[in-house]
Amino acid sequence: MGGPGNPPEGSPEGAPGGGEDEYRSVVFDESFVRAARLQEFSAQERIADHAPAVRRRPPLRRGLSRQALVLVLLIAIAFGTAIYMGVRHPYQTPAAREPAEPLRMTVIPLAPEGKVPGKSDPAYLYEHSPAAQFRTGAEGVPLPASRRTAHFSDSQVVTALTTAKDYIVRSALDPEVLTGGEVRAVRVLLDPDQLDQFDQSFARPTADGRHAPTGWLVRFDPSRAELADRKVRVQGTLQAAEADASTLEVTADHTFVYALRAAGAGAKDDVSLFTLRRELHFRFDRDDLRLHQTQLLVSYVQAGPLSCAEDSTNHLRPLLAGQTAKEGGPAGTDPYATGGATALCGSLATSAQPKV
Give the 3-state DSSP-derived string for the chain, with helices as H, strands as E and coil as C: CCCCCCCCCCCCCCCCCCCHHHHCCCCCCHHHHHHCCEEECCHHHHHHHCCCCEEECCCCCCCCCHHHHHHHHHHHHHHHHHHHHHHCCCCCCCCCCCCCCCCEEEEEEEEECCCCCCECCHHHHHHCCCCCCCEEHHHHCCCCCCCCCCCCCHHHHHHHHHHHHHHHHHHHCCHHHHCCCCCHHHHCCECHHHHHHHHHHHHCCECCCCECHHHHCCCECCCCEEEEEEEEEEEEEEEEEEEECCEEEEEEEEEEEEEEEECCCCCCCCEEEEEEEEEEEEEECHHHHHHCCEEEEEEEEEEECCCCCCCCCCCECCCCCCCCCCCCCCCEECCCCCCCCCCCCEEECHHHCCCC
pLDDT above 50: residue 267: yes
pLDDT above 70: residue 53: no
pLDDT above 60: residue 262: yes
Q: How confident is the model at residue 356 (pLDDT cuts 50, 70, 90)?
A: confident
What local confidence, expressed as pLDDT, does residue 90 receive?
46
Do strands 38-40 and 54-56 pair parallel, antiparallel, or not at all (unpaired)? antiparallel
Q: Are 201 and 213 in contact (CB under 8 A)?
A: yes
pLDDT above 80: residue 46: no
Distance CA 43, CA 29 (A): 23
pLDDT above 90: residue 276: yes
What local confidence, expressed as pLDDT, does residue 89 receive?
47
Q: How confident is the model at residue 347 (pLDDT cuts 50, 70, 90)?
A: confident
What local confidence, expressed as pLDDT, does residue 91 receive?
45
Mean pLDDT, rounded, for 239-253? 96
Q: How confident is the model at residue 84 (pLDDT cuts 50, 70, 90)?
A: confident
- pTM of the predicted structure, to 2 decimals: 0.72
255 burial level (CB within 10 Å; 0-12, 13-18, 19+):
buried
Distance CA 247, CA 152 (A): 9
What local confidence, expressed as pLDDT, does residue 68 receive?
78
- Which of 316, 325, 109, 108 shows the shortest CA–CA distance to 221? 316
Distance CA 165, CA 289 (A): 14
**Residue 315: Cβ within 10 Å count:** 20
**Distances in whole angstroms, Cα of residue 255 to Cα of each of 20, 91, 323:** 112, 45, 23
What local confidence, expressed as pLDDT, does residue 112 receive?
92
What local confidence, expressed as pLDDT, does residue 346 receive?
81
Choice between 316 and 328, residue whose per-residue pLDDT is larger? 316
What local confidence, expressed as pLDDT, does residue 336 receive?
73
Mean pLDDT, rounded, for 322-334? 69
What pLDDT, in 10s, does the model give residues 176-209? 999 988 899 999 999 999 999 999 999 999 999 9
What pLDDT, in 10s, does the model give residues 136-180? 999 999 999 988 999 999 999 999 999 999 999 999 999 999 998
Distance CA 341, CA 100 (A): 25
What local confidence, expressed as pLDDT, does residue 260 receive?
97
Instruction: Report the b/e string of 71-89 with b at 16+ CB within 10 A.
Output: eeeeeeeeeeeeeeeeeee
Least confident range from 215-219, 267-271, 278-282: namely 267-271
Mean pLDDT for the chain overall:
84
Q: How confident is the model at residue 266 (pLDDT cuts 50, 70, 90)?
A: confident
pLDDT above 60: residue 15: no
